[in-house]
Every structure is written in C-alpha cells, then in structure tokens.
Structure 1
Amino acid sequence: MLALDLVSTIRASRTGLTDSLADVTGMTEWGRAHADPLGLDATAFVATEALRNEVVELRQAVRALFARAVSPGPPSGADAHRLPGFAESLDLVNATAMAVPLAPRLDWPSDGLPVRTTVPAEPVSESARIRAALAVSAIELLTGPHREQLRTCLAPRCVLYFVKEHARQEWCSVACGNRARAARHYRQHKAH
C-alpha cells in the first residue's frame, strides 16, 4: 500500500528516528523504488527540493489522518506531538488528490489483452502527479476495508503504522514482536 509506504519513511533505528525523505537523494531513491504506482520512469526520475518538501508536507498530513484512524489507540510516537491539525491535514490530502483529475484509459497491446489504466485527464506536472497518487492512496486506505485493521506498532522504539493481517498480529514485523517479547520478559524478571 503506497500510503503505508509513505508514512513508513519515518522509522526508528538504534540511533533514533530516521527519515528516508530527509534530503533530495532519499526522495529520489524512494521515488525510484515506487516508480510504478507513482507513474515514474525509475531510471530517469530525480527529485527536486521543492518536490521533497511537498511530499514531506503531504506525508505529515497523512500521518495525522492515520493517527486519527487508529484512535482511541495511541498514534505513532515518532511525531504525534508535531503533526498538523486534523482539519488542515484532511483539507491538504483532499486538495492534493483533486488537483489531478484522473480518467480511465484503455491500453490494448497487439499481443495481449486489453488493460485499463488510470491517467491524468489533462497534462500536469510530475510533482502534482506524484502527490496526487500518494493522496489518492491514502484516501483509498482510509475509506476502504483496511482502515479497521490499521494499527500503531507498540513494540519498543517502533514508530510504524501497519495493517493487521491476522487476528493475533500485534506488531508490524517479526523483529518488533521479538523485541516486544524480550522487553516484556526483561520487565517480568527484573521485578522479581
């Protein structure tokens, strides 16, 4: 899920928080890694500082919406105290998605079956197209069936959101589950 990948550009490491979009190089690498859903040429895409700033602003708005979606559970501890307000975030995500009207297009290769793709209905900048794809992904996640499974990972030091895939899942990854169990074991044995 593209929106989940976007909010996961803020991660915790042993040295503290890491932001994959902290600079233009990181934004370029992230954009290239997500070229298909963003409609980019993975070999030619190079981010600008303006695009990076706009994507980071959108990411923070999406993180604010995710924080609301997981309540009454706790939001991610990475930046809950620095997130923009809910109404402001909602307005930004909606405006960003609406800035690029999309239309279906039929592609039919001579050696294959017809395929429906979605393309901008009119020419738009690369930045607007990228941000619209990210905003639409967030809207789809927050209005779809996965919203009910959206969770904050409660493992020590983890700051990620994840979609709960099975009833017993409590953490975003096996590593976080192991870390949480080890911390619980340590607390129990330290108390005795």
Structure 2
Amino acid sequence: MVTAAPGEERSPALALVNSRRVGEVDDLAAPEEAAAWLRRHELPAVAVGADDLRRLTDLRAAVRELLAALAEDRPPAATAVETVNAAARADAAAPQLVWPRKEWRSTRPGTVDEVVATLARDAIDVAGGDLGRLVRPCEAHGCVRFFFREHARRRWCSTTCGDRVRAARHQRLVVEQREAGRE
C-alpha cells in the first residue's frame, strides 16, 4: 500500500489523480480494482463496469490536467475543463435537512453518476478555491503524483520520494568525489 500524498485525505480528486503512479501502477486498471479504490476512499460502493471504468479514467486524466495547469500557472486544456464540468453534472445534489444540520445529498445515490459527480465537484472546489494555490507536482525524478504543499520546504509527495532523491544525490556526490580523486 502506498502512503497517501499530503492532501489526499481532504480531496478525493487529488487521490484520483494519484491512483496512477510511476510505471504501470494503476489502481484503476480493472473494474474490480476501481471498485476497491472507491471503497478505500470512502466513496459510494458501486459496481464498476467497463464503461464506468472508462469514465473514471477519463475524469482522472482531465483532473490531472487541471492540477498540472494550477502547478504550472497556466490555463488548462479546454477539453479537460469540459470533461470535469460534464462529470459534475452527471448527478445533481440537493440540500437535505439532517437534523440539526444541512447536508448535500445525491439525487441518484449508489450510482457511478454519483461517484464521478462527487469527484468532479471536488476537483472544481480544488481548482477554484484556496487549495488550488497549494497544488504541486512531486519533484522526485519519475514520480507523477501531486500533493498540497502546506509547508514551504516540502518538495516531495512522500518520504519515500524524498529518500530516493537524497540517496541519488548522495550517490552522485560519491561518484564525483571518486572521479575527482583519480584526476
């Protein structure tokens, strides 16, 4: 099990983007794996078919583009914005009184529409809200994950990536010192 990147516990859209990692590691590689991923992230437990899986992976690619655009301070591709907006419209949410508070609840509970709409609305909240300025890509070579940078010195999505970078830097220094000693 991979350690969650900072912010994944607050943003299921960030967790969705990070469901594909270095190499061919993909938590959404098959319908059963996608359903398990949804359960792990406390999203509605739904049966995921092949078409549903495609909707989730298309949404993941669109949200990745939004986060990359935020991190690079550029506008996202229009198709990514359209994909996220369409997914957000897949299921309406309506306010419900759950005494003594108000909650927003799906009008189509237990469906894939509810899941993709929930993920898309979270992506919209991130991109259009205060969390958007915190989105950063991991700076470790080969890592493709994003995280919320809430500490000015943080550069990596996990201690594993930070350790890899430090070990590589140390190895480079050792090699440079050996080569300098031969001259």
TM-score range, shorter chain: 0.7 to 0.9
Are the equivalent residues in 1 in contact too, given 2:52–2:112 (CA < 8 A)?
yes
How far apart in 2 are the matches of 1:30 and 1:123?
Answer: 20
CA RMSD of aligned residues (A): 1.9
Aligned to 2:5: none
Are the equivalent residues in 1 in contact too, given 2:140–2:161 (CA < 8 A)?
yes
1:22 aligns with 2:16: no
Q: What's the offset of the Cα at 1:17?
A: 2.7
1:181 aligns with 2:157: no
**Match runs of 1:82-161 below 5 Å:** 86-108=77-99, 114-120=100-106, 122-123=107-108, 126-161=111-146
1:24-63, CA deviations, whole angstroms, 9 ceiling, x for partnerless residues? Answer: 111110111123xx3x2x4xx3211111111111111111
Amino acid at match of 2:104: T
Q: What's the offset of the Cα at 1:156?
A: 2.5
Moved over 6 A (4+): none
Are the equivalent residues in 1 in contact too, given 2:93–2:105 (CA < 8 A)?
yes
From 166, 169, 172, the counterpart of 2:151: 166
From 1, 6, 21, the counterpart of 1:11: 21
Q: What's the offset of the Cα at 1:125?
A: 7.3
**How many residues matched?**
166
How far apart in 2 are the matches of 1:130 and 1:22?
Answer: 17
Q: Which runs of 5+ in 1 are unaligned?
A: 74-84, 109-113
Aligned to 1:34: 41
1:5-30, CA deviations, whole angstroms, 9 ceiling, x for partnerless residues? Answer: 10010012xxx230110101111101
How far apart in 1 are the matches of 2:82 and 2:143?
Answer: 28
How far apart in 1 are the matches of 2:40 and 2:108?
Answer: 24
How far apart in 2 are the matches of 1:17 and 1:180?
Answer: 21
State the TM-score, normalized to the length of structure 2. 0.83
